[in-house]
Amino acid sequence: MDFNLNEQQEMIRTMVREFAEKEIKPIAMKHDESMEFPIETVKMMAGLGLMGMMVPPEYGGGGTDPVSYSVAVEEVSRVDASHGVIMSVNNSLVCYPILAFGTEEQKKKYLPDLASGAKLGGFGLTEPNAGTDAGSQKTTAVKDGDEYVITGSKTFITNACAAETFVIFAMTDIEAGARGISAFIIENSYPGFSLGKYEDKLGIRCSGQQELFFDEMRVPAENLLGEEGQGFKIAMATLDGGRIGIASQAVGIAQGALDEAIEYSKQREQFGKPIAAFQAIQWMIADMAAQVDAARLLTRRAAFVKGEGKRYSYEAAMAKLVASENCMWVCDKALQIHGGYGYTKEYVVERFFRDAKITQIYEGTSEVQRMVISSTLLR
Ligand SMILES: Cc1cc2nc3c(=O)[nH]c(=O)nc-3n(C[C@H](O)[C@H](O)[C@H](O)COP(=O)(O)OP(=O)(O)OC[C@H]3O[C@@H](n4cnc5c(N)ncnc54)[C@H](O)[C@@H]3O)c2cc1C
């Protein structure tokens, strides 16, 4: 593994950093307050090719490697974590499973619009009573001629308010438990599809989480993704990749917080000198930098292993665990360095601190990542 980014990866990093600074930074706080989905900047990200980065060009994507993708999510999240997750879900949780498990017809039908960002995607696995225990789905799909009739609901679905295409999961065989789950590609125009409440949240406030309701929604049988009963496997494989996206998001938030803390510590004076002159602050900055770097290296390793075409569940879980835990810690210290001002909305570290928390929860909580890591070690 090369620790340096190659020329193309470095180009992507510079391009995304400039874009995020110029276009996302000025609107991030306004959207955090209003919770309004940032459709205009998401369209701009699509224009830059950020919505289907790893989709091959023949299906309308950028055909880039996972390290480039990780770097792009990091750079977007360094400025705003909401934009980071919007992008990560479309790339990792929607384009990926269609690419990896879809038929040629499904890939041709859905990937070009998703990868170009002409249409946005969402991923519906979680239900009110099936969170960590994702295998205990209550949504059902019953075959009726050349259609499935899907009934049930999903909760906390990122991008739901703007997405037109979703990858969702439902039981085709209730008796079979997790082995009876199947995956489907659905469209928001299908009769019986509707959206529920728009979540009002602590952080990533403009990333559009809503409930999905399926009231005897009819889905063409050709929209079954993979085979009947393969859904749980598809969900877990998809989340492996998603965890690289969320680890990258966590690294980005933490780097953003570190950058702000360094800047503030050089400007803020107490006892007649900048607070950066005090060893307590210097040590916090040093520890923060070490934690960000450690998280980034683990994240890059997971992306690198994925790019090699090898199994990467373990590496992705470790990256997500360390990156999200470190992110929370780093954001806490960044706020501490800002003192009382960091507790106000005048300073961006207040938003980073709120945004950081979700990285320990979604796409598998930190407890779940520990389960994945230990189950590999104790095999
Ligand atoms: C902002 C946001 C966006 C989201 N986006 C999506 C999305 O786009 N698509 C989607 O499908 N889902 C999404 N989710 C759902 C998210 O993935 C779940 O919230 C998460 O998996 C945890 O499930 P839960 O909330 O039901 O918590 P629970 O499963 O109820 O867990 C509660 C606590 O118990 C712990 N716990 C549970 N079981 C065990 C165990 N066996 N051992 C040890 N500890 C355990 C958990 O770690 C956690 O600390 C989103 C959630 C949020 C908040």
* CATH number (domain holding residue 22): 1.10.540.10
List of residues 6+ apart from 310 with CB closer than 8 A: none
Report the atom number in ligand 1 closest to the C-alpha of 364: 21
For residue 204, which atom of ligand 1 is closest to its CA?
1
Residue 170 CA to ligand 1 centre (angstroms): 18
Diameter of the chain measured on Cα atoms: 79
Q: In this structure, is residue 1 part of a structural domain?
A: no
The pLDDT value recorded for residue 182 is: 98
Active site residues: 363
Write out the two tokens for 30: 């306004």
Of 87, 120, 153, the residue at which a domain comes to its end is: 120
Contact 366/373 with Cβ under 8 angstroms? no
Q: DSSP letter string over 215-265?
A: EEEEEEGGGEESSTT-HHHHHHHHHHHHHHHHHHHHHHHHHHHHHHHHHHH
Using the predicted structure, report yes or no on whether residue 126 has a pLDDT greater than 90: yes
> Whole-angstrom Cα distance, residue 164 to residue 318?
32
pLDDT of residue 2 exceeding 90: no
Q: 27-43 burial string, b = 16+ CB within 10 Å, else e?
A: bbeebbeebebbeebbe
Which tens digit of pLDDT belongs to each residue from 241-298? 999 999 999 999 999 999 999 999 999 999 999 999 999 999 999 999 999 999 999 9
Number of domains in the chain: 3
pLDDT digits (tens, 9 = 90+) for 200-217: 999 999 999 999 999 999
247 and 227, same domain (yes or no): no
pTM above 0.85?
yes
Q: Are residues 291 and 334 in the same domain?
A: yes
Same structural domain, 171 and 251 = no
Q: Please check whether residues 144 and 164 belong to one and the same domain.
A: yes
- Answer yes or no: is 63 within a domain: yes
Q: Is there a domain that residue 358 lies in? A: yes
> Quick check: is 315 in a domain?
yes
Closest C-alpha residue for ligand 1 atom 32: 132
134-147 pLDDT, tens digit per residue, is: 999 999 999 999 99
pLDDT in tens, 158-194: 999 999 999 999 999 999 999 999 999 999 999 999 9
Domain boundary among 98, 120, 142: 120
Domain annotation covers residue 2: no
Q: Please indicate, yes or no, whether residues 154 and 24 belong to a single structural domain of this protein.
A: no
The verdict on 78 and 165 lying in the same domain is no
Average pLDDT over residues 70-82: 98
Question: How many angstroms separate the alpha carbon of residue 59 from the centre of ligand 1?
Answer: 32
For a ligand 1 pocket test, name from 126, 159, 165, 206 the mutation site with the most ligand atoms within 8 angstroms of its C-beta: 126
DSSP β-bridge partners for residue 41: none
**Domain range spanning residue 351?**
236-377
CA of 105 to the centre of ligand 1 (A): 33
Residue 1 has pLDDT above 90, yes or no: no
Do 241 and 337 belong together in one domain? yes
Q: Alpha carbon 299 to chain centroid distance?
A: 13
Ligand 1: residues with CB < 6 A are 89, 123-126, 131-132, 156-158, 201, 204, 209, 358, 361-363, 365, 367
Smallest CA separation from ligand 1 atom 39, residue: 132
Same domain, 317 and 222: no
Domain boundary among 84, 101, 120: 120
In testing the pocket of ligand 1, which one of 82, 96, 125, 132 has its CB within 8 Å of the most ligand atoms?
A: 132
Q: How far is the CA of 363 from the centre of ligand 1 (A)?
A: 7
